[in-house]
Homo-oligomer: A and B are copies of this chain.
Amino acid sequence: MSSSAELKKAGLKTTLPRLKILSMLENASIRHMTAEDVYKSLLDSGEEIGLATVYRVLTQFENAGLVIRHNFEGGRSVFELNDEGHHDHLVCMECGDVFEFYDKAIEERQQKVADESGFVLDNHSLYMYGVCEGIRKNGKCSINKRKLPSILTTSKRR
C-alpha cells in the first residue's frame, strides 16, 4: 500500500511532512528511532522539516496506530513502525542494538496474571537489558545500528 493510502486509512490527511516522516521510518536502516533521529535524518537527506512537526506527527502516528512508542530505560522515546505483529525487546546497554522477540509462553502467562488479578489488559511493555554477543565476543558490535541513512530513497518528489 502507498504511504499516501496508509495515511488516509489512518484518518490523516496526506501532507508532505507526513509522507516524509513515514517514508523515513519505512526506509531507515534502523528500526527504532527517536524524534530527533527522524528529524536529523530528514535534514541529512536534504529534506526540510521542523522538529516540532516531527514530534507532532509521530504522536499522531502513534494515536493512529501507525507507529509504536517505546520508552527504553533512561532514554527518550523511540518510535518504530507498527508493521510487524506485537513483539518485545532486548536492548544492549553497550551498543544500543535492539533485538526483537516474541514469546508465546510469556504472552500467555501475562494474560493469566491479569485475569487472576481482575485486570482487563490493554497493553504491556517488556524490555530486557543486557549485553549482546557481539560486544562480549568482539568487544564491539558487528553492526553499527546508530548509523542513519544519508539518502532517503523514497519521499523524493516532483
Which residues of A are interface residues toward B (Cβ below 8 A)?
A: 71, 73, 90, 92-93, 99, 101, 103, 105-106, 109-110, 113-114, 117-133, 136
Contact = CB atoms under 8 A, between A and B. Distances in A.
A128 B124 contact: yes
A103 B116 CA distance: 12
Contacts of A122: 93, 129-131
Contacts of A125: 73, 125-127
14 contacts: A73-B125, A90-B117, A92-B119, A101-B113, A110-B128, A113-B128, A114-B128, A118-B133, A119-B128, A119-B132, A120-B131, A120-B136, A124-B126, A125-B127
Contacts of A128: 110, 113-114, 119, 121, 123-124
A92 to B, nearest CB: 7
B127 A114 contact: no
Contacts of A119: 90, 92, 99, 128, 130-133
